[in-house]
Amino acid sequence: MTQNPGRRGFLLGGAVIGAGALVTACTSNEPAAQASAPAAAQTVASGGNDEPGTKVLIGFSAPAADHGWIAAITQNARDAAKRYSDVELKSVEPTNDINQQISAVESLIQAKVNALVILPNDGQQLNQVARKAMDAGIPVINLDRVFPDKLSYRTWIGGDNYGMGVAAGHYIGKTLKDKGVSNPVILEIQGIATLPLTQDRSKGFADALQTYGFTVTAQQDAKFTVESGTQVASNLLQAHKKIDAIWNHDDDQGIGVLAAIKEAGRNEFFMVGGAGSANAMRDIQADSGVLKATVTYSPTMAGSAIKLARLIAQGKGMGDLLENEVPQSITLTSETVTKDNAAKYLPTGFES
């Protein structure tokens, strides 16, 4: 998952990001399910920047797929690269070991790739090797978990964690207001409480709820795992005999949260998820349980990072913008998925 990416940024459009520029996800320790690959099904439109150009070799490094969102990150990157005849993708073995990822990135530098897309396990600890690539003249596209030194990357692209909280807060706040609920019991199930990304999500949630005169009643972190999601949700359900709404930060851990809710036989409240998994969207479409919405943090950002790397390596800008260069920072927006629009977002979802 992420490490404190910037909050508000540049919203992509049209030619470069296309269907890939949505939002969503996170960190877990669960085994990865089969990742969906919406980008692969699309055909590259002819004309403009999508026309074949100079052949480029793009290096790619990401953590090992220990949960659905990360699995989808790698799949989206590979699918985006396949869409271009002028792109060769050189992927290194995914790993959750910091030193191994540093060595893998160094091998890509030695291979003299034309651009390098990196989702670091830890932005701070991989900052130096990313800077080494930049100093070697290799533009680095920093994906999601940001490097602290701006000299270590050419362009950053990632999700809006604060915006996730805002989206969830507005959905819950408006729904409760429309129902005429006063003094609601609102619970928040975080990922890992110590992470800056989690703190950003919680801040956005609290800020949005405040505009309706509401506050969070209780907050607990579930470590982004199914097991912890089950345990934390069980504890919260036992502690609160009446609940009005729950925001769960992550759809991967949400599998455990929903299991605990089903086991407890509780349904007097509604729940909002986070990240935008395909299974969560299907539950929302079915409208047969407490899950009524999720807010996106889409792994399609990895496919967009490959497209940006191609443009930068070929010396091109973004077709929908007036500037000649790709922007330095791009923050995707967090959308709210409900039963009314789930069909639109389902192709971008990942399998938890």
Instruction: Establish if 344 belongs to a structural domain.
Output: no
Closest CA to 273 of 25, 11, 3, 4: 25
**Residue with the larger pLDDT of the pair 60 and 43:** 60
Same domain, 53 and 92: yes
Residue 81 pLDDT > 90: yes
> Which CATH number characterizes residue 65's domain?
3.40.50.2300
In whole angstroms, give the CA distance from residue 168 to residue 86: 40
DSSP secondary structure code for residue 277 in this structure: B
**Residue with the larger pLDDT of the pair 43 and 264:** 264
Same domain, 95 and 112: yes
Residue 28 pLDDT > 60: no
Same domain, 152 and 165: no
Same domain, 176 and 110: no
**Other beta carbons within 10 Å of 347:** 17
Predicted local distance difference test score (pLDDT) of residue 48 = 78
Predicted local distance difference test score (pLDDT) of residue 9 = 35
Mean pLDDT across 8-29: 36
In whole angstroms, give the CA distance from residue 315 to residue 342: 37
Same domain, 262 and 237: yes
Same domain, 152 and 166: no
Same domain, 279 and 195: yes
Residue 17 pLDDT > 60: no
11-20, 52-61, 227-236: least confidently modelled range? 11-20
Instruction: Establish if 58 belongs to a structural domain.
Output: yes
Instruction: Quote the strand ranges of the chain, DSSP E.
Output: 56-61, 87-91, 115-118, 140-143, 155-158, 186-190, 218-221, 245-248, 270-275, 291-296, 329-331, 336-337
User: Which two tokens mark 116?
Assistant: 């390098």
Predicted local distance difference test score (pLDDT) of residue 252 = 93
Closest CA to 317 of 9, 6, 10: 10
Same domain, 38 and 154: yes
Same domain, 21 and 154: yes
Instruction: Establish if 180 belongs to a structural domain.
Output: yes
Same domain, 269 and 315: no
**Residue with the larger pLDDT of the pair 151 and 35:** 151
24-38, 160-174, 197-211, 243-257: least confidently modelled range? 24-38
Cβ density class 114-147: b for 16+ within 10 Å, e for less: bbbbbbbbebeebbebbbbbbeeebbbbbbbbbb
Q: pLDDT for 99-128, tens place per residue?
A: 999 999 999 999 999 999 999 999 999 999
Check if the beta carbon of residue 170 is closer than 8 Å to that of residue 208: yes
Highest mean pLDDT among 42-56, 60-74, 98-112: 98-112
Instruction: Establish if 350 belongs to a structural domain.
Output: no
Check if the beta carbon of residue 114 is closer than 8 Å to that of residue 288: no
User: Which two tokens mark 282?
Assistant: 């299907």
Over the chain, what is the mean pLDDT?
A: 88
Range of the domain at 221: 161-296
Predicted local distance difference test score (pLDDT) of residue 304 = 97
Total domains in the chain come to 2
DSSP secondary structure code for residue 300 in this structure: T
Same domain, 211 and 317: no
Residue 131 pLDDT > 50: yes
Predicted local distance difference test score (pLDDT) of residue 66 = 78
Residue 331 pLDDT > 80: yes
Predicted local distance difference test score (pLDDT) of residue 13 = 36
Kindly report the pTM of this predicted structure: 0.81
Q: pLDDT for 152-197, tens place per residue?
A: 999 999 999 999 999 999 999 999 999 999 999 999 999 989 888 8
Same domain, 135 and 169: no
Mean pLDDT across 285-304: 97
Predicted local distance difference test score (pLDDT) of residue 6 = 36
Instruction: Establish if 349 belongs to a structural domain.
Output: no
